[in-house]
Structure 1
Amino acid sequence: MSILVAVSLIALLGVAGLAIDAGLGYMVKARLDSAVDGALVAAGQAVTRGSTQAEQITNATTAANAFFDANYPQGFLGSTATLSAPSVNINKGTVTIDLAAQASVPLTLMQMQGFKLLNVATTGEAIRRDLDLSFVVDVTGSMSDTKTQAAVRSGSTAFLNNFNTSTDRVALMHFAAGTVVDVPFKSDQSRGFDRTTMTNKITNYSFGGNTASVDAIWNAKYQLDHVITQPSSLRVIVFFSDGAPNSFAASFAAANTTCAAGKYTIMTSDGPPSTTGKDTNSWSGNPGAFDSMTAQNQQSSCYDKYADNVKSLPATYDVHAASDASATLPITSASPAAGTLTRPVDGQMPIIGTVNNGKPTPAQVTAMTTKFNNVNNAARNLMEMMAAKARAEGIFVFALGYGPSLLTKTGAGSGELGQDILKCIANVADGPSRCYDAKQPVGVYCYAATPDDIKPCYAQLASAILRIAK
């Protein structure tokens, strides 16, 4: 019996040793896998930094090593781990990062069987897709205070630092009453972007004007569709704004002889009218070019702040028809229901007459309120339709909303908040149910309540973009 027990004990100790040491090996393997995964993420983020590929590869390698060391404690369960030299390959717009790590675990009971060490290894690969990004920044007058301007400039420039200047393609534009493309995509189709020039442009932004968002979305989409003829596998619009749209450009009919009918005119509305004092609506008639904010801010002979210059809402948003026929949109109550339009039988806007600096009559206030509601609702509908056209082409839309007015001010006649419109263009599930489409790309919406929240929101959007780029 003693002999049998002794023989059996050796076998039982071997089985127990196998169980214990194998368990240690699995724990080390799990920690090794986690450290390598984290190192891949860190390397993927760091590879965007640097002005040359050599600098980018160095930054990715340094980040991978640092993150691995921080997440695999020295001597974990008595083991010794090493991370092999990372492999970073940049080929056109795609970045591939390969990592391999090994660990040696000293055995316990298995040493009785003649085994001293258990070697554990793991590998990982991250592939970052090429990216085309249209970056749109709101510079309207509602953000003209010094602290907000500084936060917008700081957050916008920091956002650009998340992307690779040699592999990603980025176009920068800003908008208010009109849109200016500061730095377009490269016309020769080469990859990369000029971050220094973009930073200088952002630093020199001036703030003022109304919110003509649909033109900004069109410019972002046009850059992706037409300036780039060989699109990347991931296309994104990032749209930053502090309010809902209240303006749009179209071909308006004029109500007076000084403004020629059929000219492209930017139509804006500052706020609802009141019988208590000076009319607060402004209707800016500005025939001619609308692609430059400088041109839009010039007053022409067809400008009378308190007169009814615009006779009727046009049937379509057609300002870009010559260069992009697909951008022609209907201005009707059948468009996405951010708000419905009130139309007389003949489609004309209410004739207000000249108010000048006096107090408008109740009848004039009613007429101006109808016009105010129509312009704001049409602007909202057009913005949503343009964003939906972009998403239908597989373009992701990410939105950053800033300021308390997005949560307090409802759209004229629609009852929806400004935030609702931004959620709609991003196609997020917690937005209004009428505009969510699970079949289209689902973006991200981030709300920044204060200037200090702008940079963290930008970081959230960048993180989400980089995740879908992997």
Structure 2
Amino acid sequence: MTPLLKRQRGAVAIMVALGMMVLLAVAGLAIDTGLAYLVKARLNAAVDSAALAGARAVTAGNTQSEQTASAQAAAKQFFEANIPASYLMSRPKLLSTSVVFNAGEVTIDVKADAPMPVSIMQLMGFKSLTPVASAQTVRRDLDMAFVIDTSRSLIDVGPTVRTSAKSFLNKFNVTQDRVGLVHFSSGAVMDYPIFKSARGFQRDAMLSTISGFVFDGGTSSFEGMRRARDDLNAIPPLNRSSLRVIVFFSDGAPTSFGVNLPFGTCNRPGVVDSVGVGLLRLDAQYEYVSNACTLSSQAWNTLKKLPKYYNAVDTASTEWKVQTLSPRPVVEDIGDATKFKQNVGNAARNLAEAVAAKARDDNIFVFTLGMGEGLKDKNADGETGEAVLKCMANVADGPSRCYNANKNVGMYCYAATEADLTPCFSKLASAILRISK
């Protein structure tokens, strides 16, 4: 063999060896980085779930330190549940969970890494790879009015209503969220107005008040909603939270609303009900304006005409139409039992839907919860109470005449039985917390 041929064979051997090393390096890079990519993807999912869990859990506790601890514990639990301790030979570790409170917003920052050994890449001097991941969830500030029906039709399920309503309140942040409480039947009572500048709400006091609720009277949905909307709008614009919500619970169709009309010799504002009771107080659950305002002392048909506009609070106001052609016809004549029941009942429904629509114009979400089979019963016009609640919430499966996709779309939840009530409240709370992120 000539010296030249020997040199050529040696050069080829060197080239083959170098080529094999390059191929091994490429293969090692492909294998190790491929595994690192899988670990990184799983790590991203774990920190995302941890950040969301922290944002949900930050509502637990009466102080910021307690809320921080709750958020961090939930983040750790969800992180560990979403990535195994030795996933693809890595060592996942939650590095930090930061919880920052700032003017009604809570920011949850989660960071983690997952060091992992390499295989063939060790030939290139690499000992390990360390995928890292981070996630942030910002929970927006919240202003919420909670409106609870306490009409007589709920008396048999009163304990469940109280328990479910309290569990709902416990899902919100007592130091950051602002919550007001209203209960209504024939009239509406503002139990706790929303704070107008400070953050937080009086949860313990509200829970105690709910425990004392009694169930009596009619269903003046408009009065409950009106008080809630007015309370939210009383917050100065610069102090309002970025998310504003009314949560409205009821078991029946609206039957009553306020008027300022002479009722025999009882000439003062009050609530009339389509079932024909006397004149009741606007600001009480179920109480006559005076002893002179009962059916035993006055004849209901002394209320001759309905006003053109809602005038119980301000006689000069033209914000709410009472007499109207749609969505249900209402005329002024209530001079006999049939006309009284039909026109008062139609006006009560119209006003409840109208105040919800006005709330959306104010950039307020309306969430409604209906309970009981009675909501699906049809009245003489073939209409159900459930249709009113769906219309108030502006949901797609509600009446087409009132659904507007360009306005805030809320949520309606139907609780057919007592057992469905707490899950329904939880569903609404989850939806509110979800849009607050």
Cα distance in structure 1, aligned partners of 2:128 and 2:291: 82
Please tell me whether residue 30 in structure 1 is matched to residue 36 in structure 2. Answer: no
Structure 1 pair 301/320, CA: closer, same or farther in 2 (3 Å)? closer
| Gap regions ≥5 residues in structure 2 | 1-11
Aligned to 1:331: 322
Q: What are the within-5 Å matches in structure 2 for residues 29-178 of structure 1?
A: 29-145=40-156, 148-178=157-187
Q: Give 1:297 deviation, angstroms.
A: 7.2
- Label 1:285 to 1:297 Cα distance change in 2 as closer, same or farther (>3 A): closer
Instruction: Return the letter of the residue paired with 2:205.
Output: T
Which residue, out of 7, 18, 22, partners 1:7?
18
Letter in 2 for 1:426: A
Aligned AA (2:89) = G
- Verify: 1:348 aligned to 2:333, yes or no: yes
Q: Which AA in structure 2 matches 1:192?
A: G
Distance 2:423 2:194 in 1: 26
TM superposition shift of 1:285: 2.7
Work out whether 1:403 is the aligned partner of 2:372: yes
Query: Amino acid of the residue matched to residue 119 of structure 1?
Result: T
* 1:453 alignment counterpart: 420
Structure 2 partner of 1:290: 282
Q: Deviations over 1:166-186 (max 9, x none)?
A: 111100111100111111123
User: How far, CA to CA, are the matches of 2:73 and 2:293 in structure 1?
Assistant: 62
Q: In structure 2, what is the equivalent of residue 303 of structure 1?
A: 295
Instruction: Provide the C-alpha distance between the structure 2 equivalents of 1:85 and 1:34, rounded to a whole number of angstroms.
Output: 16
2:274 corresponds in structure 1 to: 269
> 3-state SS of the aligned residue for 2:257?
strand
2:303 touches 2:335 (CA, 8 Å); kept in 1?
Answer: no
Aligned to 2:341: 372
2:218 is aligned with 1:210: yes
Match of 2:311 in 1: 318
8 Å contact kept, 1:253–1:314: no
Does the residue aligned with 1:312 lie in a helix, a strand or coil? coil
CA contact (8 A) 1:79 1:103 kept: yes
User: 2:250 is aligned with what amino acid?
Assistant: S
What amino acid maps onto 1:123 in structure 2? Answer: S
**Alpha-carbon shift at residue 17 of structure 1 (Å):** 1.9
Once the two structures are TM-superposed, the CA of residue 294 in structure 1 deviates from its matched residue by 5.3
Q: 1:463 to 1:330 in 2, by over 3 A?
A: same
Q: Is the 8 A contact 1:43 1:59 kept in 2?
A: yes
Paired position in structure 1 for 2:255? 246
Aligned length: 424
Native 8 Å contact 2:277 2:294 kept in 1: no
Query: What's the offset of the Cα at 1:222?
Result: 0.9
> What is the CA-CA distance between 1:331 and the residue it aligns to?
1.0
Alignment-mate amino acid for residue 418 of structure 1: G
Q: Deviations over 1:179-219 (max 9, x none)?
A: 111111235x2111111100000000000110000000000
Conserved? CA contact 1:377–1:412, under 8 Å: no
- C-alpha separation in 1, matches of 2:290 and 2:31: 81
Distance 1:297 1:138 in 2: 20
CA contact (8 A) 1:303 1:309 kept: no
Q: 1:393 to 1:411 in 2, by over 3 A?
A: farther
Q: Which amino acid aligns with 1:436?
A: Y
The CA deviation at 1:113 is 2.4
Q: CA 1:380/1:211 → structure 2, altered by over 3 Å: closer, same or farther?
A: same
Give the AA of the match of 1:194. Answer: Q
| 300-309 or 64-73, which deviates more | 300-309
Percent identical pairs in the alignment equals 44
Q: Distance in 1 between matches of 2:293 and 2:403?
A: 43
Bigger Cα displacement from structure 2, 7-16 vs 195-204:
7-16
Q: Structure 2 CA distance, aligned partners of 1:225 and 1:94?
A: 20
The one-letter code sitting in structure 1 at the alignment partner of 2:309 is T
Per-residue deviation, 1:116 = 2.2
What is the CA–CA distance in structure 2 between the aligned matches of 1:105 and 1:349, rounded to whole Å?
80
Scaled by the length of structure 2, the TM-score of the pair is: 0.92
Q: Which secondary structure does the structure 1 equivalent of 2:405 belong to?
A: coil
Q: What root-mean-square deviation, in Å, do the aligned CA atoms of Structure 1 and Structure 2 show?
A: 2.0
Matches of 1:384 and 1:159, distance apart in 2 = 24
Higher gyration radius (CA): 2
The 1:198/1:228 distance shift into structure 2, 3 A limit, reads: farther
Q: Give the whole-Å Cα distance in 1 for the aligned partners of 2:62 and 2:253.
A: 37
Q: Separation in 1 of the partners of 2:291 and 2:83?
A: 65
1:6 is displaced (CA, Å) by 3.8
CA contact (8 A) 1:283 1:306 kept: no
Instruction: Provide the C-alpha distance between the structure 2 equivalents of 1:95 and 1:320, rounded to a whole number of angstroms.
Output: 39
Deviation at 1:92, TM superposition (A): 2.0
Q: What is the Cα deviation at residue 291 of structure 1? A: 1.3
1:416 Cα deviation after fit: 2.1
Gaps in structure 1 of 5+ consecutive residues: 271-281, 352-367
The CA distance in 2 between the partners of 1:64 and 1:95, in whole Å, is 14
